Amino acid sequence: MIEIPNPDSPTGLADWVELSILVSSNSLSKAAAASAIEGVAGEEPSEAFIAGIWRELERRQRLYSRSFFRVEDRFIEPEIDHQPPEYLACLLLSLYGGQGRAHRPAKLFERLSREAISCYLSGQAVVFGWPSDPDDSPNEEEESRIKRKVRRVAEVLGERFCESPPARFNDRGLDVVGWIPFVDRRSSQIVVLIQSTVGQNWKDKLPVPLDAWRQYVHWGCSPVKAFAVPRVVNDYEWHEASVDKGILFDRVRIVNLLSDGVQDMAFRQELNAWIEQRLADLED
């Protein structure tokens, strides 16, 4: 059975249930879930605790645009006969973050977020990221590297480059840039600056600092901020997280946006390879 990382978190346990039935292609009863939780926590969970997990799963069932699973009173069962890599990757990242031997999960999630945001905008998006870049040179100074990245984003979007962040700020909270270009390719357009994270401490992450980015690029129109995370954000956290971090792209939105799968086939293969390795890690 899939490892339970935190037996005290109803949200995390709902993730665990989703992942377990997806990987096994079998149903899971409340009694079996309670037994698994007891084996990790050392004491039997209350009926109210298990009921809370089931309510969260029912909420997710309503939010997903596809029927990944069906929640009944005493059990939950999968309703798909294959494993969509976008959904499975988000579940693994939500439960375990960047743990394990699998390579560069945060960078994979940036690319997954880029695909979802492109679909949302019906526009374009690029990974900004730090420090991964095909043009990076091991001998290049950090200040020069970040300057080149900011300048390139400004040029691609047709915006006006002004200056780059000091090297100590690295990517200055920016992971993905999305925009809706006009045919004329000029500035004065919708631009979204996105931070993505796979960490368990996502609520403590500061949003993209728009005031700082207005210094680095003189945008024709002020950009908006957004935040991508592979977990499902709870209802009671949603409003405050939105106010603080901007437009939210949680697992529900990412998976719904990518219902037809990622379009980059090379990336899809890389995603599947990462999933295979991550699941192998969990079975060790």
Note the pLDDT of residue 99: 65
pLDDT for the residue numbered 135:
55
The residues spanned by each domain of the chain are 10-82, 87-283
Q: How far is CA 122 from CA 72, 80, 115, 280, in A?
A: 37, 27, 10, 36
CB within 8 A of 68, min separation 6: which ones?
18, 22, 61, 78, 79, 80, 87
CA distance 213 to 22: 41
Helix (H), strand (E) at residue 155: helix 142-157
Instruction: Profile the chain (284 residues) by mean pLDDT over runs of 10 residues.
Output: 89 96 94 96 96 97 95 94 91 84 78 96 87 53 81 94 84 94 95 94 92 95 97 95 97 96 91 91 77
| Cα(164)–Cα(161) distance, integer angstroms | 8
Predicted local distance difference test score (pLDDT) of residue 178:
97
**Residue 225 in contact with residue 205, Cβ under 8 Å?**
no
What pLDDT does residue 27 have? 96
Question: What is this structure's pTM?
Answer: 0.92
Instruction: State residue 179 phi and psi, 5-degree precision.
Output: -155, 160
Token pair 């949680």 in the structure block, residue: 250
